[in-house]
Structures are given as C-alpha cells and as structure tokens.
Structure 1
C-alpha cells in the first residue's frame, strides 16, 4: 500500500512534466463517436461509461492516430473506424508532436512524426485467443522446444505473487512465436508442488500473468491502450492489478489509457484520472468529473474511504455542501464526523496517523484556526472558508442581505427575527433563528451558504480552501 500511495503521489505531482503523455485528442465526423475533443492531465486515464457509448471505438481511434501500422492489422478497428479525421497531441521527452489521420485514407504507410512504442491490448480477445493458439501448438514440450527459458528471480516472483495472489515455488517464462509472427508468453509454474503450464491455467490466472509480462517487458516511455483489463479477474485481483499498474507507470514512466467498467479499479484511481464517456447530439464526449449518478448507471457505487473530522454539526453540514458544490464524486467518498471542537480534531488526527487500512483521515478545521493548527497534524489539515467560525461567516452574510435570504427561505419575518436575536451567541444563534422562522437548521444553513457563495470573492476563497482539502484527501 505504501508503494502504491507513493506511486499515486508521483503520478499526481509530476503529471505536467511526465516524459511521455497524451495531452489532447480530437476527432471529427468519426463513425460511432462523432465530433469532439478532450485534454488529458494524467499519465493514467480510465474511460468508463454505459455500453454502446463508444468506449472501444474511442480507444481504437487513439490507437489508429498513434500507430496506424498496427491498428490497421485489426479487423475490428478497420470495421469500427471507416471515416472521419483524428489528431492527437503527444509530448515525448520535451518535444510536442501532432499526429493527424484521415481515417478513410489511412494506411500502414502513414508516416509518424514521433517514434513511439505503442501497445494495444484487448483483454477479452487476447487472453482467450492466445490460450487457444498455444493449445493448438501442442504439448508443452513441443511449444518450448529449442526456446530460451527464463527462470524468474525471487523479486519477479514477489510481483507475480502480489498480482495473482499465488505464491508460486517456481515460474519459468518462454517467449514463443505463434500465428502471424506474434510473440506470446508461455509460462510453466510450480504451485503447491504441482507443475502446470499456460494451456492448463484458468483464464484469470493467465490474464494476470500476461498483463504482468506486458508491463514488465515494456520499454521505458511506452504507451499502453488496454481494453477492460479487469476481464477474467476477481474483484480483489482487479485491485491488485491497479496497484501493480500504477507502480509500473511510475517506475517506467509509462502512459496508459484504459477502458473499464470495474468499480474496483475506478474507486482507487488517482485524482483526475477517470473520464466518463457519454453521448450528446454531436457524438460521444468525455466528462472529466462525472456526477455520481452517471457512475451508478454503470454499476459503480463509490464507498467512503476518506474520514473527515470536523468541529461540530454546522461544520459537517457546510463541509458536505462544499463537497457537493465542487466535486460530488469526492463527496461520496467522504464521511464527515463531528468531534466537538478543534482540540478533538487534532487528537483524532494524531490517533489516526499514519493513514491505516487503506483509509485516509483529514481534519477540516473552522477558518478561525488558521495559523493555530499544531505542526504535527498540519499535513493532514484543511480549513473551511472564512477567517472566523463558519457559522459566524454565514450569520454576517445573512444580516447583510436579509431580504434575499427571506425570499430563498420563503419567509417575510427574517428582518424581525434577526433583530430579536442581536447579541446571541454564534453557536446558539443558528438554531434559534431556524426555529423562529419554522425551518430546519440544515435547509437554513444551505440557503445561507449559497447566498454567501454569490459573491465572486467568496466563491474564489471557497474554491481555494476546497482545493487544499482535495490535495490532502486524495494524496
């Protein structure tokens, strides 16, 4: 987990300076996906969406733009991509290249400005097809006869054990040539004193080993386009694959774009890596921050994995409103817990460090704690908007514009109630104000918060505080 978190941080912090990356991709009048453009801000991008929105076509269009020679060898690619125009901006070792393709006239002789190592993997097709072709070649002795063997070292066995959840006693790798001159991995393994090979493995086991081989043997700075890598893998193996993939991307400076329906992959993705593909009138478009209802439409339900300590129930309500306003997807991952004051936030954070069991812990203090947060928890601390307690900030906004808050709340008694509550303690004021106008405190706080956000300076300040929160919660 520690290595995974470090790799995630590396991808996030260094995304703009990654040596190989796809910066943008544009498509016009392409069969199946129409017209659109997208910018990428991470070396790892995951494209998800409902069936039939064009995920496969989208990924194969990227493949055609990057490597027409190999892409045009695929019958499915040529079938899906029959017309339109593509251009893709690639950054490679400090140089920007734009590759342009007229789909209808594309040919294997299309020259490329960049020298890229591009690998496309259709997981569902590749695993079944390779196992079938290896089986046709015959028995293990016939397949590996005369082929150089590689007995994997203990460090590689540890990687494979993590990925497959099997502690093999021995793994021997052969790279064999199959139909069409394609090189494929053939494994002979010993597990629990029992020896067997790739033709006798289940699809999930061979899929894990195949993906390990592809990533392990890849040159630094390669680009991978992978269709549904979760195919054949159990939920836990899917999570293991993500950890291994992210670690390899960080170590080898890879650029990876995948399509997926797997909540186990999407739930743990780095911030900014997930894009939701949906259809509009012009074709298929990628949404950078999909609403949680979009994710739920493909069966992806985000679970809380970020615990946020706040001072009180007011901070909990405002914190939830801020999350829903700026990032509803992140909101689904956060569980806000009132602990009874800033001192108890600090105590809770101290008891929770380091982050345990794959969970993250954040202290979200009121704004009046700026400059007062103990040094030992500052790395895990964020502030709510304002330089005072959040209820004081909102109270002042309400007093400054009572008529607007009256319209929002549907009450003509706001001015009178405000006058009657002059001098009340800030913490008691909200509850007495809510009771006086006959509204529940949560709806009153929500109305006050959105009134306060109408001022552009307040919106900017809230965004800045939220950005700080996000950097901690998703680090």
Structure 2
C-alpha cells in the first residue's frame, strides 16, 4: 500500500456504517467517522467512555470498569439494529463474524516481556515460522518508524493461548530483534502487523498510541491509520493526550470531552484553544507507574499540591497491581523510556523481596497509615462526615447510615457503592477525602515528595 498525500487521505475517508449516539442529560452527539479521536483533560472520562464502547461491542471489561460506566448511556445503531450499553445484548451477539481488536501499548509490552523472559528463548522460538515482509511493506515501515530498514521479519508466537509477535530487522549497520528493540519501535511494528491482519469492516480500539513513540512517528502513524481505515473500511476509536496527533488530525474527527457535575459532555472543539486548555507539552521525560486508580488519585493529588507541572513531564499510568509494575521495572533502560514505580504503602513490608528483583528503574512507596489508601480514606470518611456532607451537599444522617451499612465491605468496591447510593461522582468524593488525608498527614506526604525530588532531580 503506497502512502498517499495527507490531504487526499483525510478528505476521501468515508463515514462509518456505525452510528453511535451518546446521550447524557438529553445532550446528543454522533461518532460516525471511520476514525474517531477522543481527547480531553485527565479525569474527564475518556477511558470510561472507551470502556463503554468496548462493552457495547462485546469486549470483556473488568468489574471495576463495569461499575464506572453505569451512569453513561450510549446508543449505537448498526445494520438497522439498536444497542444500548446498559442492556444485555451486544453487537457481537448478532454479528458473530465481526472482528474487533483492542490495542493497548502497555499490555503489548507486558506480553512481550513475558515472552522474552522465558528460559531457552532461542530454542523455544525455533518451533515457530518466521515470515519476511515484502519490499513495499518494508517501505511503509521505514515511513512509520523513520528507520532505514533493509529487511523486516515477523514471527507469530503462540504463548498461553494468545499470539505474541516477535520481530527481526536488518538495517545497513546492524541486525537485531524484539529483545533489543526500543518500546516505541516494537509497539509500532505490532500496530502495523495487527492492522494488516484486520479484515474489512472491523472495529479497532487504540488507547493513547503516542506512548513510547517519537513525534514524527506519531504523525506518520496517524496518516497511515486514516489510509488503512479507508481502504479496509475499519472503524477506529482512539484516545490521546498527544498535541502532535491533535495538530495532525482533521478537526471533524476529534471529539473533546469534559466532565461536569451533570456528567460527561462533549465540548465545542477548537484546535488552538484545545491545545492551550489541555496544557499539553511534548517534553515527556518518563512515566509514574501505580497499582490502581486510587493510587493514581493519591499520587496526582500529592503532585498537584507540590508541583503540578511535574505531571506534564511524568504522566501517571495506572496498572493492575504491584506485579504489573515489577514486570515493567525489569525493562532495559536501553529502550530510552524512564519508568518510576510507585508501589502501595503495604509493599514496604516486602521491601527486601522487591530489592531482590533485577530492576532497571527507580521505585518508591506511597505514603500511608494502613496497608492501602482505600482503608485510610474509609477512616477519613467516618471521621469527617460533616465536612464531606457539606462539600457534596448531602444529608449527614444519610451518609452516616451508608457508612454503617457498608461497614466491612470489600475496600475495592467501597467508594463506588457509596458514591452510587449518594448519586455523586466517585472522583468528587475521593478528592474531598484526599484533601483531608493530606491535611492530617503532612509530614509523611512531605517526606515522600522529598524522597522523589532528591532521587529524581526534580
């Protein structure tokens, strides 16, 4: 496939056969483009929105993600059939031949790390066939990655009932494979290969493709994505914080989300004003990795108090537990990406176990009193009923009653249940509790930030 002129590609792309109607508080908007770029400030609900779409199409999402999409109503029309994200029926139920993929760069890297950490890797790989890309495809890869490839090969490795792709490349100066590649190069090769395999009329979800990828490659990838979407009649939903992707895209494909008291809304899009409002800066120096969304909320709160500009240089990525952090911490520094592992407070007791691992990146522990931030915040809620009630404009006795009813509830579900019963955003409740937590624990928060500052030269 020859890479066409940018203006031709964007102008010729047709609408999707999916008509997605988002309805919140009687406000409607449509997503009916082949390529839909979803952006907005942190916490505006991009991930919740994307998870709602994944769910209505039929992809599996976690229990926590299911709880978060309950207040978001989405209507989708496809082949005269209508679907709602809060109903049981999914698009895949009626369209079993429909192909859907979910491309998450962090999951892609995690799967690769699991593969290459195997003993006797070379012997293990020998049982799989390797395929060489034709010259015209190598030309596209050279365009995407700005590398002078002479030859590129791919191997599909079946590992624990899933496919992991292993690449080998030859340039004029060296040969290497996925064990020696930077993350950005591997992820881009993976994106390209998966998109090549997609059948016509498929659906693709891509979450923040800019992660690990340089500016030029981001722009080239977006233009390639438009072309492949048009050629294969793909429908693509992509979330991003990248100013370069937003600048590159045609405005009708961009959907700016915001979160207000009434819920998620679409904001009027202006490219210049959006970039300014979002405060997007390209100089990302690394990523903070945390165990879950509550840990992300705590770390975000602390950094906003101390040095909000730091979040532009070190975005926070929420993973799925401490083991996911540890896997990424063992990634080679040669990839050119700096990771900072931030474990929950309870992991301090396992400090010696963590130290025994072959980490290549620095790690720290969140401040806390109990084992995890959820339990600390549950205590704060019980102590500060009057403050919370006043700020959320709810009845004190109603809140006290809910606290009593949920005593002993699993802390993972505690705040989602409380906020749902109170009909208030969970994020608003958590923010009030974090403010009180930081007021009561100034010393440990100060010590935590000073440790970060000293070790990372902020």
> TM-score, normalised on structure 1?
0.54
- SS of 1:297's partner is helix
SS in 2 for 1:71: coil
Give the structure 2 partner of residue 71 of structure 1. Answer: 60
Instruction: Give 1:225's match in structure 2, choosing from 191, 198, 205.
Output: 205
**What is the aligned counterpart of 2:269 among 275, 289, 300?**
289
Offset at 1:287? 2.6
Determine whether 1:256 maps to 2:236. yes
> Using a 3 Å threshold, how does the CA distance of structure 1 residues 108 and 273 change in structure 2: closer, same or farther?
closer
User: Paired residue for 1:380?
Assistant: none
1:146 is aligned, of 127, 136, 144, to: 127
Tell me: CA distance 1:109–1:63, structure 2 relative to 1, closer, same or farther (3 Å). Answer: closer
Cα deviation, residue 193, structure 1: 4.5
Which one of the candidate residues 24, 28, 44 is aligned to 1:53? 44
Gaps of 5+ in 1: 29-33, 302-475
Contact 1:189 1:197 in 2 (8 A): yes
Shift of 1:138: 4.1
Counterparts of 1:41-440 in structure 2 under 5 Å? 41-67=32-58, 70-72=59-61, 74=62, 77-78=65-66, 80-81=68-69, 83-84=70-71, 86-91=73-78, 95-102=79-86, 111-112=93-94, 115-123=97-105, 125-138=106-119, 140-179=121-160, 181-290=161-270, 292-300=272-280
**How has the CA–CA distance of structure 1 residues 284 and 146 changed in structure 2, closer, same or farther, with 3 Å as cutoff?**
same
Equivalent pair of 2:83/2:91 in contact (CA under 8 Å) = no
On the 8 A contact 2:44/2:258 being kept in 1, the answer is yes
**Is 2:56–2:91's contact at 8 Å kept on the other side of the alignment?**
no
**Alignment gaps of 5+ in structure 2:** 282-458
State the secondary structure of the residue aligned to 1:160: helix
Look up the match of 1:4.
Answer: 6
Deviation per CA, 1:224-282: give whole Å up to 9, x if none: 11110111011111111111111111111111111111111111212411111111221
Q: Assess if the C-alpha contact under 8 Å between 1:62 and 1:88 holds in 2.
A: no
Task: Provide the TM-score with structure 2 as the length reference.
Answer: 0.56
Q: CA 1:281 to 1:137, structure 2 compared with 1: closer, same or farther past 3 Å?
A: same
* Cα distance in 1 for residues equivalent to 2:279 and 2:108: 25
CA contact (8 A) 1:169 1:193 kept: no
Q: Deviations over 1:284-335 (max 9, x none)?
A: 112353474343122359xxxxxxxxxxxxxxxxxxxxxxxxxxxxxxxxxx
Task: Give yes or no for contact 1:35–1:284 (8 Å, CA) kept in 2.
Answer: no
Instruction: Tell me, in whole angstroms, the C-alpha distance in 1 between the residues paired with 2:223 and 2:125.
Output: 32
What displacement does 1:110 show?
8.3
Alpha-carbon separation, structure 2, partners of 1:77 and 1:226: 17
Residue pair 1:4, 1:246 contacting (<8 A) in 2 also: no
Corresponding position of 1:469: none
The 1:85/1:58 distance shift into structure 2, 3 A limit, reads closer
* Bigger Rg, which one: 1
Q: What is the CA-CA distance between 1:48 and the residue it aligns to?
A: 0.8
Residues 143 and 155 from structure 1, CA distance in 2 versus in 1: closer, same or farther, beyond 3 angstroms?
Answer: farther
Partner SS state of residue 137, structure 1? coil
